[in-house]
Structure 1
């Protein structure tokens, strides 16, 4: 069982899940976000991923979490996203142990995570919101830099802090997400490659395998 809904915090999604009996490994694709996750009484940070992660939880395992989009997570964590990219980090390595213990023992972990995030909330960076939106639409990062009066180097640095990587990697991740969405809608792969912004179907195949670890056919299965 998996449920998600919009959090009260901007660009943040709350979600919870329970692992059903007989569930196998789950392939978790990069999505340009980082998560604060409560799992069976432990709390950790799932940093922004650059490639797919394989998750395997025992039957009955419970998760409750917040997913931070548009670069909003690092302000709450208190560290740049590039310091936790492709990592799973215990939250008490970043926050006071007493605060993390209160979340771990909470009857409603999502509410506890939300309250803790609200106390540390730093607001949104309009440039990073614009960069995330451009990446989702397949627009070049240079468009964002020009509109915001930033150099490519400045945008790269701010993107590293907010997302864990630069605009080009963010663009690739969002392009992968578009391809998967189109594939799950039943579009032919030639159409997927064109509409998602790949040069051709071979480019689509290379990128999906590089970032997801399996061909698109297996990913959609």
Structure 2
């Protein structure tokens, strides 16, 4: 059983039996059963690339797990699946025109130390306009991207350092350890200590 936690990205996943799925960005944990010996390959789309690469409003794919043929025309879907399995960047997914404002905003919100309002002001756009841009490009709101980025900062720090949960919470940008505990349980389905034990294989 694989625990898949929110990371702000989308994935095209190809299984060794030929099945191919597209997984949109999520704010919920997924527990995915994989049979022993299963072999799969995938392509990950960065947060801001989803809408531009697929040429679809990204919010339509938020939280979705669908056959690749539902997000690409059949011929392009077959080609993309073949090329992912071969380890080649699929031709149908190479061209994109991500809005540089969204790319900048995603990076700023992901790295922490700022707010959605501050980023909107930096870009000279209204909060509502930034929200529309994010929904079209990423499938998530700016606040959701900020939230997932903070969670991922916690995971990275926990995987690479050995400090207390209180220090991890502060460094990642949580208000306190209780805030960390609530968010980790909501996004990963486990309390922080249990999640870290699972990730370390304890």
Q: Distance in 1 between matches of 2:42 and 2:82?
A: 14
RMSD: 1.7
Instruction: Mark the CA change 1:81 to 1:109 in structure 2 (over 3 Å): closer, same or farther.
Output: farther
SS in 1 for 2:140: coil
Match of 1:29 in 2: 5
TM-score by length of 2: 0.89
Q: Aligned pair 1:134/2:108, yes or no?
A: yes
Q: Distance in 1 between matches of 2:151 and 2:111?
A: 12
Q: 5+ residue gaps in structure 2?
A: 198-202
How far 1:126 moved relative to its partner?
1.1
How far 1:131 moved relative to its partner?
1.5
SS in 2 for 1:36: strand
Determine which of 55, 60, 77 is the counterpart of 1:78. 55
Name which structure has the greater RCO, CA cutoff 8 Å, separation 6+.
2
Tell me the number of residue pairs that the alignment of Structure 1 and Structure 2 aligns.
Answer: 194
Q: Distance in 2 between matches of 1:96 and 1:51?
A: 28
TM-score by length of 1: 0.81
Q: 5+ residue gaps in structure 1?
A: 1-24
Q: Distance in 2 between matches of 1:106 and 1:181?
A: 30
The more displaced of 73-82 and 205-214 is: 73-82
SS in 2 for 1:150: coil
1:187-221 deviations in whole A, cap 9, x for unaligned?
21010111111111111101110111111111111
Mapping of residues 37-52 of structure 1, within 5 Å: 37-40=13-16, 41-52=18-29
Q: Distance in 2 between matches of 1:47 and 1:114?
A: 18
Determine which of 72, 92, 98 is the counterpart of 1:124. 98
- Which structure shows the higher helix fraction? 2
Match of 1:187 in 2: 163
8 Å Cα contact 1:38/1:64 also seen in 2:
yes
Match of 1:201 in 2: 177
Instruction: Mark the CA change 1:65 to 1:202 in structure 2 (over 3 Å): closer, same or farther.
Output: same
Match of 1:158 in 2: 133
- Which structure shows the higher strand fraction? 1
Match of 2:123 in 1: 148
